[in-house]
Amino acid sequence: MVDRQKRALAVHDISCVGKCSLTVALPIISAAGIECSVLPTAVLSTHTGEFTGYTFRDLASDILPILDHWEQLGIKFDAIYTGYLGSFDQIELVKKLIERFGKDALVMVDPVMGDNGKLYSGFDAAFPSGMAELCKMADIVVPNLTETALMLSEPYIEGPYTPEYINGLCRRLKADFNADIVLTGVSFNKDNLGAAYYGKDASESGYAMQMLIPGSFHGTGDVFGSSLLSALLNGFSLKDAAQAAVELTVDSIRQTEPGREKRYGVRFEAALPGLIKKLGI
């Protein structure tokens, strides 16, 4: 018999060019056999990292009417995956979305707002505290080290890190959000990079690491988050899902032509057959 197909809702912007957010989440989640419904938060001509002069259309005013229509139709989601939100107001709207549609769904919040110690362009200093409030509604939170420092109001420190420092961050995030934590951008020496996972009930914690490929590649957080969610919805444990997500992310970087400008993203398309195989689809 054919089993029931799971449905995830991806709540991100559409950056028309630059391979991040919905142009990454849709293909990865679909390739993993999951229906990917979308709630676009904004439309930009490109993403905001290393591009200037981009257009930005905030779709906040469409969100509540969309939710009302879905409610009339009785739509249900197995997962809600939120990423880049275009404005502070959208945090409040996404909280309403989770209240209305999140009860039986796996809620994963990637508090997309910065990298390399800095907030992305367009966000003000109050944004991280709003994101931290949203994270309290999540079952699983997937920040990088910059977003972690911003939400914990701690200084950002460059790697490599000690396991004690990383475990301390995970513990504080878990205490604040009461959620599973998967912390990205973790390195313990100059040759490796990966993620720390820290289960809410502390039964599952550890690291998923790979050899480091030098350079800062755009959109890898969304490649990671989308594959993490895909693996979880395919029944993987937190540990195995974190490992699969690190592997897809590193493979996507490996498949990217060496001379390509990093702001145009990574070649995750070439890594999808590997993900499909790993998920056993």
Q: Which residues are at the interface with ligand PXL (CB under 6 A)?
A: 13, 15, 20-21, 44, 47-49, 84, 112, 120, 219, 221-222
Q: Shortest gap between Cβ of 148 and ligand PXL (angstroms)?
A: 16
Residue count (the chain): 281
Q: Which of 66, 5, 65 is nearest to 32 (CA)?
A: 5
Nearest CB to ligand PXL, comparing residues 8 and 70: 8
> What are the CA-CA distances from residue 217 to residues 13, 166, 177, 188, 239 (Å)?
19, 22, 28, 19, 24
Provide the minimum distance between the beta carbon of 80 and ligand PXL in the complex, in angstroms, as a whole number.
17
Q: What share of the chain is helix, strand, coil (3-state, %, to 5)?
A: 40, 20, 35
Q: How far is the CB of 114 from ligand PXL (least distance, A)?
A: 9
Cα–Cα dist 151/24, whole Å: 25
Q: Which is nearer to ligand PXL, 112 or 229 (CB)?
A: 112
Quickly list H helices, 102-237.
127-135, 145-152, 163-177, 220-233
> Which lies closer to ligand PXL via its Cβ, residue 110 or residue 251?
110
Which two three-digit tokens encode residue 254? 């490996």
Task: Judge whether 38 and 46 are in contact, CB under 8 Å.
Answer: no
Nearer to ligand PXL, 199 or 221 (CB): 221
SS3 category, 224: helix
Report the distance separating Cα 93 and Cα 207, nearest Å. Answer: 34
At its nearest, how many Å lie between ligand PXL and the CB of residue 147?
11
Q: In the complex, what is the shortest distance from the CB of residue 152 to ligand PXL, in angstroms, rounded to a whole number?
A: 20
By beta-carbon proximity to ligand PXL, the closer residue of 43 and 78 is: 43
Q: What's the CA gap between 101 and 173, in Å, rounded?
A: 24
CB of 46 to ligand PXL, least distance (A): 8
Nearer of residues 14 and 179 to ligand PXL, judged by Cβ: 14
